[in-house]
Amino acid sequence: MKTATAGATLCAAHLVGCSTTRLQYSTPAPLIYWDAAFWTKKRLSLRNSSSTIAALPFKLSPPPIEHDFLDSVAAEGAKVSEEGIIETFDNDDEAFDAFDNGVVVMDLSHFGRIRVSGDDRIRFLHNQTTANFECLSEGQGCDTVFVMPTARTIDIACTWIMKNSVILTVSPVTCGNITEMLNKYIFFADKVEIQDITKQTCLFALAGPKCSQVMANLNMGDLVGQPYGTNRHYSVNGMHLIVGVGHIISEDGFSLLMSPAAAGPVWKTLLSNGAIPLGFKKLRITQAPGKELTDDFNVLEAGLWNSISLNKGCYKGQETISRLVTYDGVKQRLWGIRLSAPAEPGSPITIDGEKVGKLTSYTPGRKE
């Protein structure tokens, strides 16, 4: 099997023997570096009517009528996979250049969205994930990690705190399992409701150094410069949106959540303001669940330090994480490296003949 060597393609790898004691990362979310280094994310009780809290209604705008956003972009040349992912617009080089020097828009609607409502939602999520939810208030946000009791990683979630609910954006491959897991941990007296709202919503992301200008053009400039996760409600040409700082791929840029009925008009509005469409084909490396965020690695090995509170009380996986930090138990971590030639995931990474890690993901760089 080919050994990975330094060079010019983009990949992810776990390397052993890397000390991460008290290591702090500047980004709270899994992040890609374009053409550079990539780091890098029930007990089911019977409930009677007196104890059940009905889910608060979720409605962004009127439901779509004979509307299909993917059909619309496919008719304009986008390549859409069977899973409903816009893989490419056959403009990758132009789009990557716009990512560095202009602004791009990406459809991330295939990522999962989970709505948690009910009076106990903050306490519930505080106990189930790694972030400190009790220090957050309406309009704020954070990244948090779902872990096993052994601190092995399930997924990272981009979280928005709203007036009546919390919205979690998670990987498409984990959304169903996380929804089921959360429902299992709702106890009889808990006032919590879990809803998978993925099909009721669409999610776009803006990225690039000029995306702030697009926000200003759309009268949403008050979000520019706000902390990661800050979210607000807006109306653009009569269409209701929830917009947040950052997105599931990077802390930079903005996320736009809307109804499927609004997706087409919002997309066209963004394009008319200079955004270049970017497909997801070469972004798969950022979709870490299933490759890097798995039960093969704990949350600290995945480098998700800024998504973890080391000061809050008990939560699932907390004891294991505390031991890893206290006793310097993190012996490997996720890195981005560049290769001189293609290599298969699973290939050993060696230095002077000694294995120091393995390749977990790989994708060609610009112009292959």
| pLDDT tens per residue, range 128-176 | 998 999 999 999 999 998 988 887 888 889 999 999 999 999 988 899 9
Angle CA 20–337–88, to nearest 5: 120
pLDDT digits (tens, 9 = 90+) for 24-62: 333 333 333 333 333 333 333 333 333 333 445 566 655
Beta bridge partners of 143: 158
Q: What is the pLDDT of residue 193?
A: 97
3-state SS assignment for residue 28: coil
Task: Give residue 282's identity as a one-letter amino acid code.
Answer: K
The mean pLDDT value for 278-306 works out to: 71
Say if CB 178 and CB 155 are below 8 A apart.
yes
In eight-state DSSP terms, residue 310 is S
Alpha helices in 235-361 (DSSP H): 260-272, 318-326
Task: Report the C-alpha gap between 94 and 276 in whole angstroms.
Answer: 8
- Report residue 318's pLDDT band, with 50, 70 and 90 as the boundaries: confident
Which ranges in the chain are annotated with CATH 3.30.1360.120? 69-281
pLDDT digits (tens, 9 = 90+) for 70-127: 999 998 889 999 989 898 999 988 988 998 899 999 999 999 999 999 999 999 999 9
- Report residue 6's pLDDT band, with 50, 70 and 90 as the boundaries: very low
Q: What is the pLDDT of residue 368?
A: 55
pLDDT digits (tens, 9 = 90+) for 336-361: 888 888 888 889 999 999 999 988 88
- Report residue 2's pLDDT band, with 50, 70 and 90 as the boundaries: very low
Q: What is the pLDDT of residue 280?
A: 83
Alpha helices in 89-201 (DSSP H): 92-101, 121-128, 175-184
3-state SS assignment for residue 120: coil
Q: Is 189 exposed, middle or buried (CB count within 10 Å of its CB: 0-12, 13-18, 19+)?
A: exposed
Task: Report the C-alpha gap between 171 and 55 in whole angstroms.
Answer: 23
Task: Report the C-alpha gap between 217 and 214 in whole angstroms.
Answer: 5
69-281 under CATH 3.30.1360.120, yes or no: yes
Q: Higher-confidence residue: 215 or 39?
A: 215
